[in-house]
Structure 1
Amino acid sequence: MFSKDATWMRSARIALPLGIAALALAGCAGSGSGDGGDGSSSSKVAAVIKGLDNPFFQAMESGIQETADTDGVDVTIQAAADIGDTTGQADKLTTLAGQDFGCFIVNPISGTNLVQALATIGTSGKPIVNIDNPIDSDAAKSANLDIATYIGTDNEAAGGKAGDFVKEKVAAGSEVAIIGGVAGDVTSAARVDGFKAAIGSDLDVIQESAADWKREVALTTATDIIAANPNVKAFFAANDDMGLGIVKAVENAGLTGQIVVVSVDGNKDALQSVKDGGLSATVAQYPYAIGTLGLQACEVATSGGELPKEIESPTALVTPTEADDAISAFPQPFAPFENPLEPLLPTN
């Protein structure tokens, strides 16, 4: 779906915080050279991700697939029907679990919906690479799951970057509103918490709502908030789809340029909106890079290597100043970054 320079697979430089980059390479990811952990020699990889109705996960799929193509890895990717398809996603993983795969990449819809399916994989000793949305640690412990590594965004930090930006753009004491994803979702909560921590008591949060990660729901919600709170000066949305819904609500109210709207993801349509003056900024994650790192982690694991227990994928605030560079580089990061898995990858 997305084109890329094939050499990036091995030479990408992921700009990680020193604490993450310097993590001791703890936690054995494989159980023998080229061994899937159950005595098989399969280096085939299975990936189960969230729904491809969202461009974020389309980019993630491309990162997995194109890395596999470049590195000569046999990968099978299955996706949930949509963000609410918890049972369907688990069924797909259950089917794959019984097949000849040496490593599994999982991007669960919730912290627990894949745990039962993963239990079978965990018993076999095959490595499990958890990307983007973390598996609930208590549930994993109860199921005796040993997750080889977690790769994802520091969502609190991403929300914090958005909060810092909003504080710079609106006057102290201004009214702001927050629109999160699905109520109770860990990722959404972390982004919202990071945003609120960054603005502290400097700004007044007049409403916090959930819009199920959906643009049309956010449009309706933001329309109601603007009508009830004519002095609202800024919105924070926990993802770009909702952010773009808010932008439409602001436009419909004739307030474009008067209300700051910031979201998280860095999808291409959001980057274009930043360039065009719709979104004020987006905190870009790099789902393509998350997918690439997930596939590379499986390469390390199935060759008997060891992985860091956590790898933080990069984020960057994109304002109109950075929008052209971000669009040109999409879906890759627009700034150089250090890939902690590169020295661990097997040489062919």
Structure 2
Amino acid sequence: MKRWLIALLVSMVGLAGCSMQSPGAASPETGKKSGPYTVGLSLSTLNNPFFVSLKEGAERKAKALGMNVITVDAQNSSAKQTNDIEDLIQKQVDLIIINPTDSDAVVSAVQAANDANIPVITVDRAANQGKVVSHIASDNVAGGKMAGQYLLSLVGKGANVVELEGIPGSSAARERGKGFEEAVKGQLHIVTKQTANFDRAQGLSVMENILQGNKNIKGVFAQNDEMALGALEALKAAGMKNVKVVGFDATPDAVAAVKRGEMAATIAQKPAVMGEKAIETAKQYLEGKKVTSKISISLELIRQ
């Protein structure tokens, strides 16, 4: 066979070998995937309408951008969330978006992703350590202040109020509580602060227990709407319909309760927007573009 023909055949074999590279494989020139990005989304719980909305926003935006999302539900368990994130690392996702159950407990999982060179974005709640390329959330301190100022305007200076706290260790609980307490310091008397773990059933039972020893209350601030709605049921059962209840998140059930005149107000976050922004930021980062380390989502007071 002539030399030129042999050379041509060798060249064709080489080209065929290059074309067999699988979709999504890393390009040796750029180190970036050639196929669609796959992002892991670890949520604290899907037993809460707020995080369901966040999930839906993220998945909707990912579909629009041609990205894949693997969503996992920690079910409010820090241990399960750690295992979920380790599974995402094993799947070699391109980036992990985390809504921490606990801002301290999630640190080891964030660091595991760091060690695997998988970038991390946190949403709604922060991680207290570890490398995070961007944190996307509402200003929870400002939201807590907004709730405190509005409750003060309703019940008047010196009134007795109750504060229902979220999951201990979560940044959202800590920051909302800080803002609320700064707003009402010296203005309202917080007769008790108790944890109900951002859960409606616990909000109901904790409020029932509080009412056994504190009938003379004029207002309740719950650090999320699920607890607020549980507290509302306890107040109704006790015949205390004039107590002003302010929640946080503006979930559909809470907004409906405000419209009915049962809840006084809720602080509107925009979870679907958070999810969308998290996916947009993930894509920008994976494409090598600069992203902002903190992205704030605006708040709004929803009232009667």
Q: TM-score, normalised by structure 2?
A: 0.85
Coordinate RMSD, CA, aligned: 1.8
Contiguous gaps of at least 5 residues in structure 1:
1-33, 141-145, 321-348
Q: Which amino acid aligns with 1:233?
A: K
Q: Deviations over 1:63-108 (max 9, x none)?
A: 110011112112221121x21x111111111111122422221111
Flag the 1:111–1:205 CA change in 2: closer, same or farther, 3 A.
same
Show structure 2 runs of 5+ residues with no match. Answer: 1-25
Q: Is the 8 A contact 1:159 1:193 kept in 2?
A: yes
Structure 2 SS opposite 1:192: helix
Deviations 1:267-321 (A, max 9, x none): 100110111111110001111111111101111011110111100112111012x
Using the TM superposition, give the Cα deviation of residue 241 of structure 1 relative to its aligned residue in structure 2, in angstroms.
0.7
Superposed, 1:106-117 pairs within 5 Å as 106-117=98-109
Aligned-pair distance for 1:126?
3.2
Task: For 1:185 and 1:68, locate their aligned partners in 2 and report how far apart those are by CA, in whole Å.
Answer: 27
Q: Using a 3 Å threshold, how does the CA distance of structure 1 residues 66 and 165 change in structure 2: closer, same or farther?
A: same
Q: Structure 2 CA distance, aligned partners of 1:295 and 1:79? A: 17
Query: Which of 274, 289, 301 lines up with 1:290 in the alignment?
Result: 274
Equivalence map 1:167-186=2 (5 Å) = 167-186=152-171
Out of 58, 64, 67, the residue aligned to residue 64 of structure 1 is 58
Which residue among 149, 158, 180 is the counterpart of 2:143? 158
Name the CA distance, whole Å, in 1 between partners of 2:111 and 2:177: 31
**Structure 2 partner of 1:190:** 175
Distance 1:169 1:311, change over 3 A: same
User: Residues 203, 127 of structure 1: CA spacing in aligned structure 2 closer, same or farther, 3 A cutoff?
Assistant: same
1:105-144 matches, cutoff 5 A: 105-137=97-129, 140=130
In structure 2, the CA distance between the partners of 1:125 and 1:166, relative to structure 1 (3 Å rule), is same
Equivalent in 43, 46, 58 of residue 40 of structure 2 = 46
CA separation of 1:260 and 1:118: change in aligned 2, threshold 3 A: same
| Equivalent-residue separation in structure 2 for 1:132 and 1:246 (angstroms) | 23
CA deviation vs aligned residue, 1:311-334 (integer Å, no higher than 9, x gap): 0112111012xxxxxxxxxxxxxx
Q: What is the CA-CA distance between 1:173 and the residue it aligns to?
A: 0.9
Structure with greater Cα Rg: 2
Match of 1:299 among 283, 290, 297: 283
Residue 90 (structure 1) aligned with residue 75 (structure 2): no
**Whose RCO is larger (CA < 8 A, sep 6+)?**
1
Q: What is the correspondence of 1:1-348 to structure 2 with a 5 Å cutoff?
A: 39-41=31-33, 43-80=37-74, 82-83=75-76, 85-137=77-129, 140=130, 146-256=131-241, 258-320=242-304
Q: CA deviation at 1:225?
A: 2.5
CA distance in 2, matches of 1:215, 1:120: 33
How many Å apart are 1:124 and its aligned residue?
A: 4.0
Q: CA deviation at 1:58?
A: 0.6
TM (normalized to structure 1)? 0.75
